[in-house]
Amino acid sequence: MGNEPVSTPREVRQSLSAIRFRYDGLKDYVWFPDLCLLQLQRVVNPALYDWAEHYVSERAVVATGDGAVAEEEEKEMSSSLSHALLQFFTHAGRSA
């Protein structure tokens, strides 16, 4: 996984089961298509999913004014994003 689209019945079932499990508790807070996209990323490109989760955590701290992201952390996040995007099978998926 990581360099191919969802292609096996197991991957499809895994994605749908996770959405079903999570959505009921999140439906008042999360837009359903966003949850689907994130879950598919989790199955197809775990590195990008992990990057997005980390980014949201860092962004929340900055947005609330409770902290800042160091320049070194920004560089590391940029490098991690580039690496995660390279895991996509198609060239179009590799573009930030």
- With a cut of 80, say whether residue 4 has pLDDT above it: no
Going by pLDDT thresholds of 50, 70 and 90, the confidence category of residue 2 is very low
What is the model's pTM? 0.67
Q: What is the pLDDT of residue 77?
A: 93
Q: What is the DSSP letter of 94?
A: G
Q: Which tokens belong to 92?
A: 């179009």
Amino acid identity, residue 43?
Answer: V
CB 40 within 8 A of CB 6: yes
Residues 30 and 78: their CA atoms lie apart, in Å, by: 26
Alpha helix (H) ranges present in 1-96? 9-26, 32-44, 46-64, 71-85
The per-residue pLDDT for range 37-89, each reduced to its tens digit, is: 888 888 888 898 999 989 988 988 899 999 999 999 999 999 999 888 888 76
The per-residue pLDDT for range 22-33, each reduced to its tens digit, is: 777 777 877 888
Residues 75 and 14: their CA atoms lie apart, in Å, by: 33
Q: What is the pLDDT of residue 75?
A: 94
- With a cut of 60, say whether residue 3 has pLDDT above it: no
